[in-house]
């Protein structure tokens, strides 16, 4: 019988054979075929026992099991189905019947695999949609940054201070340490200080209205904060920065940071919309003349048509070329902030070539 089955089915399928129930169980579990053909009467383990053990294996849930028996009574058929069989063929049987039964079951297996694949694709698509939705929600939530920041900064700042104090006490109480241990403590302390700097930056960004009149800030520090807040958006963009670290402006660092964040977002959006193969580039530089600091942000993005330039700083004016719905504070608010700082902001652009924003602020450097 086994030789007949192998000979008959090998014409259409790849067939594995076993001499008894135990060997058949091992082959089925290791090879995981689409269909198993079991004789009800086998040495070692009978067909029903093998069937039951296979059904206990979750990884074989889709595998079809067909039982062969010489017993044609209803009870035998019911036992086979209850133990996990998918079909029951009574001996003797013809080749056509065998092939038809197995072909139908294997079509079902193929359909199940296709259904599972489509389900997995649907799950991936749903995950992508949910991620996109989460990004949109997060974007809206950013409008509430100020109100949320207070509690968050408090929760971070208190344990941060306790940790820094504990590190200092630990360093003093331990006395002489091995060089490796000293370096470890120094690394921990440096990491905690870095967290403190980020918390301080968040506080300044969240409370821009707390700026003092005549406040002095280093342009490089404000730019560093702005670059940090836009880092996740600047993938594959060549950033060319020429800003001295000691150049000081009479301006609120938090307010200048907000303006720079907005202008950077516009530049990022502009270079991201370019259709050709040019290398996305944003250049940031400064110059000092006549007690004025000029900060320029130049991108090689899509540019802005001339007729729109006079309205760029108008309230509620938006343009796809300068970032559309990603304009953050809005260029009109940027304009208002810079004017409040006794400065000016201007724009120049060439369609499909470049855009440049220039901020002029009073210099705090003596003799400038």
> Which residue, among 98, 100, 101, has the nearest Cα to 5 in the 3D structure?
98
Q: Is 71 exposed, middle or buried (0-12, 13-18, 19+ CB in 10 A)?
A: middle
Distance, CA of 330 to CA of 161 (rounded, Å): 36
- How large is the average pLDDT for residues 28-51? 88
Contacts of residue 142, defined as CB under 8 A and 6 or more positions apart, other chains included, come to none
Q: Which comes out higher in pLDDT, residue 200 or 81?
A: 81
Backbone angles phi, psi at 286, to 5 degrees: -135, 160
The helix or strand, by DSSP H or E, that contains position 358, with its residue range, turns out to be strand 354-362
Q: Which one, of 26, 17, 20, 6, lies nearest residue 95 by Cα?
A: 6
Whether pLDDT at 155 is above 90: no
How far is the C-alpha of 64 from the C-alpha of 35, rounded, in Å?
5
Residues 222-243: what's their mean pLDDT? 89
Rg of the chain, C-alpha, whole Å: 36
Mean pLDDT of the chain: 81
Write down the residue that tokens 């389900």 correspond to: 119
Sorting pLDDT into bands at 50, 70 and 90, what band is 200?
low
Question: Structural domain boundaries of the chain?
Answer: 2-93, 143-209, 210-362
| Tokens representing residue 291 in the block | 């007690």
Greatest mean pLDDT range, 2-6, 77-81, 282-286: 282-286
Instruction: Pick 362 or 116 by higher pLDDT.
Output: 362
pLDDT for position 229: 82
pLDDT band, very low/low/confident/very high, at 267 (cuts 50, 70, 90): very high
Per DSSP, 311 falls in state G
Question: What's the pLDDT band for 234 if we cut at 50, 70, 90?
Answer: confident
DSSP for 107-159, written as a single string: HHHHHHHHHHHHHHHHHHHHHHHHHHHHHHHHHHHGGGHHHHHHHHHHHHHHH
Question: Could you give the CA distance from residue 104 to residue 110 in angstroms, rounded to a whole number?
Answer: 10
Task: Round to whole Å and give the CA distance between 250 and 198.
Answer: 23
pLDDT tens track for 116-150: 888 888 877 776 676 566 555 544 554 455 555 56
pLDDT of 47 reads 86
CB 310 within 8 A of CB 320: no
User: Which CATH number applies to 210-362?
Assistant: 3.30.565.10
Q: What is the mean pLDDT of residues 96-100?
A: 89
User: For the structural domain made of 2-93, what CATH number should be given?
Assistant: 3.40.50.2300
pTM: 0.48
């Amino acid at each position: 019988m086994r030789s007949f089955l192998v000979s008959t089915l090998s014409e259409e399928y790849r067939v594995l054979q076993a001499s008894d129930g135990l060997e058949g169980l091992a082959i089925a579990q290791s090879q995981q075929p689409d269909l198993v053909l079991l004789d009800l009467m086998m040495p070692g383990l009978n067909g029903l026992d093998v069937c039951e053990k296979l059904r206990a294996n979750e990884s074989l849930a889709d595998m079809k099991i067909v039982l062969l028996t010489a017993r044609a009574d209803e009870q035998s058929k019911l036992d086979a189905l209850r133990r996990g069989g998918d079909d029951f063929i009574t001996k003797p049987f013809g080749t056509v019947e065998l092939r038809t039964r197995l072909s139908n079951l294997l079509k079902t297996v193929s359909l199940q695999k296709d259904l599972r694949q489509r389900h997995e694709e649907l799950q991936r698509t749903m995950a992508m949609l949910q991620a996109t939705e989460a990004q949109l929600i997060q974007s809206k939530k950013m409008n509430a940054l100020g109100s949320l920041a207070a509690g968050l900064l408090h929760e971070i700042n208190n344990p941060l201070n306790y940790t820094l104090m504990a590190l200092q006490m630990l360093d003093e109480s331990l006395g002489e340490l091995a060089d490796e241990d000293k370096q470890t403590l120094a690394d921990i302390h440096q990491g905690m200080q870095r967290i403190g700097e980020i918390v301080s930056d968040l506080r300044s960004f969240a409370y821009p209205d707390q700026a003092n009149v005549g406040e002095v800030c280093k342009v490089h520090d404000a730019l560093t904060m702005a670059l940090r807040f836009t880092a996740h958006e600047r993938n594959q963009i060549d950033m060319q920065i020429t800003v001295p670290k000691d150049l000081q402006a009479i301006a609120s660092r938090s307010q200048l940071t907000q303006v720079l964040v907005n202008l950077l977002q516009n530049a990022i959006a502009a270079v991201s919309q370019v259709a050709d193969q040019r290398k996305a580039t944003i250049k940031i530089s400064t110059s000092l003349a006549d007690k004025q600091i000029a900060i320029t942000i130049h991108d090689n993005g899509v540019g802005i048509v001339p007729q729109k330039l006079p309205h760029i700083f108008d309230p509620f004016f938006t343009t796809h070329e300068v970032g559309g719905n990603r304009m953050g504070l809005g260029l009109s608010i940027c304009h208002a902030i810079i004017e409040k700082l006794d400065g000016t902001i201007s724009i120049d652009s060439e369609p499909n070539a470049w855009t440049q924003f220039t901020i002029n602020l009073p210099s705090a450097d003596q003799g400038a």
